[in-house]
Amino acid sequence: MRRAVFPGSFDPITLGHYDIIERGLTLFDEIILAIGINADKKYMFSLEERTRFMKEAFKNEPRIKVMTYKGLTVDFCRTQNAQFILRGLRNPGDFEFEKAIAHTNRKMSEIETVFLLTSSGKSYISSSIVRDVIRHGGDYTGLVPDTVRVNK
């Protein structure tokens, strides 16, 4: 069983994440979408909202699980018997950032990080841009799965 953890903040999940997850399902038997809990970070959506958006988006896909975790991603992978971390790459900035994390994780564990390049047309989407659009009352619906809706 090839099991991967896709860690992130998912504040909120976007069509960029969705694309990486769908394509990841061709490589792995199971993917755990793991929402990292960081007490120092301010989020737009609560943990409950972020979890619900993600669970609903994949409610018809039994090979996707949504979980939350605290602490090191590699420790969480071990508790879940996951051999892989899945991450997406949009641009050289992502690459530099992700490279350092992947090397560090590899130093601490035997877990491999697998990167998928964003599909063309999705590379500009980020949770922070979605949050900006929402904050300023713009139409965010083309950037996120239908399950992400704001009633604020």
Query: Distance between CA atoms of 70 and 50, rounded to whole angstroms?
Result: 15
Q: How far is the CB of 72 from ligand ADP (least distance, A)?
A: 13
Q: Is 5 in the site for ligand ADP (CB under 6 A)?
A: no
Which residues have a catalytic role annotated? Answer: 17, 41, 90, 127
DSSP annotation string for 10-35: -TT--HHHHHHHHHHTTT-SEEEEEE
Query: Distance between CA atoms of 1 and 83, rounded to whole angstroms?
Result: 9
Q: Is 20 in the site for ligand ADP (CB under 6 A)?
A: yes
Q: How far is the CB of 110 from ligand ADP (least distance, A)?
A: 20
Any alpha helices (H) in 58-142, and if so which ranges?
Answer: 73-79, 92-108, 127-135
Query: Distance between CA atoms of 33 and 86, rounded to whole angstroms?
Result: 9
Query: Considering just the CA atoms, what is the radius of gyration of the chain in Å?
Result: 15
Q: Is 12 in the site for ligand ADP (CB under 6 A)?
A: no
Query: Which residue is it, tokens 């609560």?
Result: 46
Q: How far is the CB of 55 from ligand ADP (least distance, A)?
A: 16
Q: Is 125 in the site for ligand ADP (CB under 6 A)?
A: yes
Of the pair 20, 83, the CB lying nearest ligand ADP is at 20
Phi, psi at 127, each rounded to 5°: -60, -35
**Does 141 belong to an annotated binding site?**
no
Q: Is 9 in the site for ligand ADP (CB under 6 A)?
A: yes
Q: Is 17 in the site for ligand ADP (CB under 6 A)?
A: yes
Binding string, residues 127-146; x marks residues near ligand ADP by CB under 6 A: x-------------------
Question: Residue ranges for the binding site for substrate?
Answer: 9, 41, 73, 87
